Structure formats: structure tokens, C-alpha cells
Amino acid sequence: MSDKRIYLSSPTMHGEELKYIHEAFDTNWVAPLGPNVNEFEKEVAAYVGGGYASALSAGTAAIHLALIIAGVKRDDVVFAQSLTFSATVNPIVYVGAKPVFIDSEKDTWNLDPDALRKAFEKYPQCRVVLAVNLYGTPAKLDEIRAICDEHNAILIEDAAESLGSKYKGRHTGTFGDLGIFSFNGNKIITSSGGGMLYSKDEEAIKRSRFLATQAREPERHYEHKEIGYNYRMSNVVAGIGRGQMKHLDEHVSLKKDIYMTYRKAFEDIEGVTMNPYGAESEPNFWLSCMTLDKSLSVKPIDIMLALEKENIETRPIWKPMHLQPVFKDCDLITAEMERVSDKIFDTGLCLPSDIKNTAEDMDRIISLVRGVFGR
């Protein structure tokens, strides 16, 4: 076993981050809010094509506030993609609403528009949809947007994994009425933590900032007319994000190189497929994933264990939310005879996608995977 640890996706720092951190220290702006927070919001909004953004403590906080701003109340139904990380759907429960899960489609692994149509037939009262761009791959956003408009529903786009991705030339995170970005440690860029709520609606973002600072009214004394939250981003954390933004396009390019290297390396193994994306999409390729046909004797766990023995990190595909014990009583709407998200979970794994991987690292990973297949 090699002493060198190869990670799934670890932070990559460049040095510019320190400039903004030092400025925060030199000016004593180390608490939440400050110049870095203001500029980080402007820089992210400008990058995705304009609009407004609110820098927050986590992407989860952004989803929570998005649901509140969307007017979700106790016992409301919210449609949510099942194949995702739990942070997407936990905030639905925070506000006392009821998640109804939507199965994936095969082309992008994201929310199935046909299943969404069926969901509105069964739950016509639903007024909020939570769609995800899984592993950095854009969903069928035009179709999903059109269905939401048809049913007068608000679309919240969870682009936590897809900053830098485009759909039909337009950045993800901008198709929803509200968009979510994450800067967690393993994302395409990181601020060590934190997230952002995005919208073209300035009033929505102003409200998110108000709610995120304990809903304090503009009075000399501390006046509160509604429940607020301590969700604003630190000025130090925002400084890291500002330095990282300078390298976002570079990170996307490196992630794409990793994906294409894997795809070419395994194209001769029948039954092995990389995570798909549509011709109209430009993913950020955050994580490169592989699925294995059920007829193969090799299973995902075989590859994960083989790499684990060599100090190489992998990860299973997200376990769908409708299979999670905590959500066992929630409904799932599917348009296929076979649950697509179940199959992806059963047959897939995430491969090492760290942009610091050298050519030698990639050769080693590929050789080990091919060896599991006897190649």
C-alpha cells in the first residue's frame, strides 16, 4: 500500500486566499459580515450572469431560508429530488413541511420531468419544487422550469454541487426562482464552509439577509417581530472564497480532464458507464462517477475495497432519500417501471476526483480499477 493518500475531492488552495484573510485581520473584520462578504456576494452573482446573492454559513442554511422566502408552511407538500445528499431535503422538515420525493431520469440522474408531472397530478396543491444538479451535472432545467410555471410553483435550484456548470449556455443556479451554492471543503471551490442564496429578485435576497441576521428590525434597540437565524457568513471565510473564485474556471477544466481520462480508460470494458450528461450541458464534473451493469460479476464494493487497500478514497453514490430510514413514511413518485435512483445507487460509485491528482496518480487509480476487471 502506498503512503500517499489519494482523496476523493479535497480543497485546493492557491495563495490568493491569504491576501483577503490578512486584510480581514489587519482591519479587524473577523466577525460575520464585512468587506469580503459584500464583495464575495457581488463576485459570485456577477460570475453567474448578474442578480443578487446572500453569503451564508452553509448551503443548508440557504435552502432553509429559500423555503421560508418561498412561503412554505407547516404541513405543506414540497417536491424534492430523491437522489441527493440529505442536506437538500432536511430543511423541508425544519419548516414542518412534508417532502414528497421525485425519482431520477437516466439521462442526467436528476429529477425526472415525467415523474414531476405525475407528482402534480397527485398533489396539485404543491407550490414548491426542489431540484438538484447532481455531481455537477445540470438537470433538464428548461422542462422542470416549464412544469413549475404551468403549476404556479416556485423552483428552488440546488446548485450546491454545480457552481461553474452551464445548461444551454446559462449558469446553473440561475434557473430557479431561488438558487443555492455551497462552498464546503470538497466542492469545486471552497471557503472552508459556507453557502450562498442567489436570486434575480433583489427583495428576496434582502429578506434572506434580514432573516440570517436574527431578523433584527432597524431600531436602536433589539427589536424582533419574527424568528430569525444566525446564518451569515464570516468575513474571514468569505475571504477564502474570494481567493478561490479566481480559480473556479481552472478547477472546472481540471475536473473535466479527470472525467474524460476515466471515460477513455474504461470505454473498452463492456457494462461500465460514466455518469451521463446531456449535449446541451457543460457540467463542472465535480465528481466522476461510474456505474456497473448488474450482469457484471464485479460490483461497486469490489472497486471501493480494492482502492481502499491502496489508500485511495472513493464514495458510494448518494443513497436516495426515499430509502433513508428517517424518511421511510414519505411518498416517492416515479415514471419508470424500475426506480431509476435505486438502480444508480445499487450499481454506482464515485471515483477519486481531486484536481491535485498527478498523471501518475490517475494511472495508478485506473490500473487498479482495470485490475478488478482482470484487465
Portion of the chain with pLDDT greater than 70, in percent: 100
Whole-angstrom distance, CA of residue 260 vs CA of residue 264: 6
Between the alpha carbon of residue 299 and those of residues 313, 342, 347, the distances in Å are 17, 15, 7
The string of pLDDT tens digits covering residues 286-330 is: 999 999 999 999 999 999 999 999 999 999 999 999 999 999 999
Degrees to nearest 5, angle at CA 303 with 301 and 305: 65
Tell me what pLDDT residue 33 has: 87
Segment 130-141 shows an average pLDDT of 98
Centroid of chain to Cα 258:
19
Portion of the chain with pLDDT greater than 90, in percent: 97
pLDDT band at 189 (very low <50, low <70, confident <90, very high): very high
The string of pLDDT tens digits covering residues 46-75 is: 999 999 999 999 999 999 999 999 999 999
Whole-angstrom distance, CA of residue 255 vs CA of residue 69: 34
CATH number of 16-245: 3.40.640.10
Place of cell 450541458: 281
Q: Which residues pair with 232 in a beta bridge?
A: 56
Domain spans of the chain, in order of start: 16-245, 248-372
Tell me what pLDDT residue 32 has: 79
Segment 31-57 shows an average pLDDT of 96
Tell me what pLDDT residue 15 has: 94
Whole-angstrom distance, CA of residue 123 vs CA of residue 47: 37
- Tell how strand 128-132 and strand 170-171 pair up: unpaired
Segment 36-44 shows an average pLDDT of 97
Q: What CATH class has 248-372?
A: alpha beta
pLDDT band at 177 (very low <50, low <70, confident <90, very high): very high
Alpha helices per DSSP H over the chain: 16-26, 35-47, 59-69, 86-94, 113-122, 141-150, 202-212, 235-245, 248-265, 300-308, 340-347, 359-372
Segment 339-345 shows an average pLDDT of 98
Segment 361-375 shows an average pLDDT of 96
Amino acid at 193: G
pTM equals 0.96
Length of the chain: 375
Tell me what pLDDT residue 220 has: 93
Q: Which residues pair with 181 in a beta bridge?
A: 196
With both helix axes pointing from N to C terminus, report the angle between 16-26 and 235-245 in degrees, rounded to the nearest 10: 150
The string of pLDDT tens digits covering residues 206-245 is: 999 999 999 999 999 999 999 999 999 999 999 999 999 9
* Residue 139, all three cell numbers: 438537470
Between the alpha carbon of residue 308 and those of residues 104, 283, 304, the distances in Å are 29, 27, 6
Residue 141, pLDDT > 90, answer: yes
Q: Taken in order 83, 171, 34, 247, is the CA torsion positive or negative?
A: positive
Whole-angstrom distance, CA of residue 330 vs CA of residue 241: 37
Residue 1, pLDDT > 80, answer: no
